[in-house]
Structure 1
Amino acid sequence: MSKVYTLEEVAKHNSKDDCWLIIGGKVYDVTKFLEDHPGGDDVLLSSTAKDATDDFEDVGHSTTARAMMDEYLLGEIDSSTIPARTKYVAPKQPHYNQDKTPEFIIKILQFLVPLAILGLAVAVRIYTKSESA
């Protein structure tokens, strides 16, 4: 049976001399791999003290890289110690009027411009009809 760690325990291992990661519900000691990691040690160090599964999957690691992980496996993470993810909700902001035109002028123009185009089209049609007669 593998050992079960809490996020608090894993989070303590966040340096170049002692680096643990959580990937796919498992805990890995990647300290010996830091120097050999193709993306550099900073990538791994930035993924400590959290669930790094998304970071790992986003890169698209090869099957060889995935096979190497067994060598560094320590145990499993107690998933109840990892905070639940919350969906990001952007703050509600008022419409930004870039050219600073007053809102009422825009509304008037949105009404008058199509009306003027329609009037012009009707006038041209009447004029061309009277010319052909």
Structure 2
Amino acid sequence: MSATTYTIDDLQAHKSRESLYMLISGKVYDVTQFLDEHPGGDEVLLEEGGRDATEAFEDVGHSDEARDMLPKMLLGPFDGPTKVAKAAGATTASSGGSTGGDYKFLLPVAVLVAWLAYRFLVAA
């Protein structure tokens, strides 16, 4: 592993099928060689390429085997903000992303559970 530190500009320069970098948990990985082997298909990787893919990686719940593959693809540590600067006058999000947005899927699940409970109680 080299002592090179990577930035968002480095990530942005490598977001194609020919050279694909992504940031996961503060480290930059070159996943180019893994495109054809990824069980979810190369589209998933290409969509997350060139940016912070930590949330997408963790949301999928990768196996220990998948996590064990990461060191082989490690390029080095990341330094700097994880968001690309927006045009002048536009607001930028902090690197923390959206507050509470990680639980958006719970609302439809809660509605479904409430409906099922209602149906069960009415049928009883």
Q: Partner of 2:48: helix, strand, or coil?
A: coil
TM-score (norm 1): 0.61
In structure 2, the gaps of 5 or more residues are: 84-93, 101-124
Q: CA deviation at 1:27?
A: 0.3
Partner Cα separation in structure 1 for residue 52 and residue 45 of structure 2: 12
Residues 85-126 of structure 1, C-alpha deviation per residue, up to 9 Å, x if partnerless?
Answer: 35369xxxxxxxxxxxxxxxxxxxxxxxxxxxxxxxxxxxxx
Q: Offset of 1:60 from its aligned partner?
A: 0.4
Q: How many residues align?
A: 88
Q: Distance in 1 between matches of 2:42 and 2:61?
A: 17
Identity of aligned residues (%): 44
Q: Which structure shows the bigger proportion of residues in helix conformation?
A: 1
**Which sections of structure 1, spanning at least 5 residues, go unmatched?**
90-133
Larger radius of gyration: 1
RMSD: 1.7
Shift in Å, 1:3: 1.7
Matches within 5 A, 1:53-132: 53-78=54-79, 80-83=80-83, 84=94, 85-87=96-98
Deviating above 4 A after TM superposition, structure 1's stretches of 4 or more consecutive aligned residues are: none
* C-alpha deviation, 1:11, in angstroms: 1.0
Return the TM-score normalized by structure 2.
Answer: 0.65
